Amino acid sequence: MEEITINSPEQMRELGRRIAKLLRAGDLVLLSGELGAGKTTLTRGLGEGLGVRGAVTSPTFVIARVHPSLEDGPPLVHVDAYRLSGGLDEMEDLDLDVSLPESVIVVEWGEGKVEELAEDRLQIVIHRAVGDTTDEVRQVTVTGLGARWAATGLSVLSA
């Protein structure tokens, strides 16, 4: 587990680019945090780091958006599970398990909904100051779960 302090949206994107260097096809990333915490900004950095096509924006109204690789890497499947209440049943309608082996799947608001997709996953929790604040500081906790992440050094994210 790594704890990282982020002071600006640009630092959040840079963290996403650093995380992308650790990702490969078949990886599942769960993003949690309050509205406005920076989940989509982090995912934008992931997309940049993976070299995918298209602007990474919040897929709130389409639920899932696929960004093909412009290079030789895996596509990024960006899912917003905020409006999905049915858990894995609703998620199965998206066929994420079919695209998981060849894609990197990032699920915002996926906690308690998509864990069954993969034993190995990267959980990222973004904490921000709540209330009436313009504070840009975020505390990001990155936890690798399962054998896939056991040997992956997350300490490079804090460098």
Question: Pairing between strand 64-67 and 76-80?
Answer: antiparallel
From first to last of its 159 residues, what are the pLDDT tens digits of the chain?
999 999 999 999 999 999 999 999 999 999 999 888 999 999 999 999 999 988 888 776 667 888 889 988 999 999 888 877 665 566 566 666 567 788 999 999 888 877 877 889 999 999 987 666 667 899 999 999 999 999 888 988 986
Which residues is 121 bridged to in the sheet?
145
How confident is the model at residue 146, as a pLDDT?
Answer: 93
How confident is the model at residue 159, as a pLDDT?
Answer: 66
C-alpha 49/C-alpha 75 separation (Å) is: 12
pTM of this structure: 0.87
How confident is the model at residue 145, as a pLDDT?
Answer: 94
Helices vs. strands in the chain: H and E counts, helices first? 5, 7
How confident is the model at residue 90, as a pLDDT?
Answer: 60
How confident is the model at residue 93, as a pLDDT?
Answer: 63
C-alpha of 120 from chain center? 14
Which residues is 6 bridged to in the sheet?
138
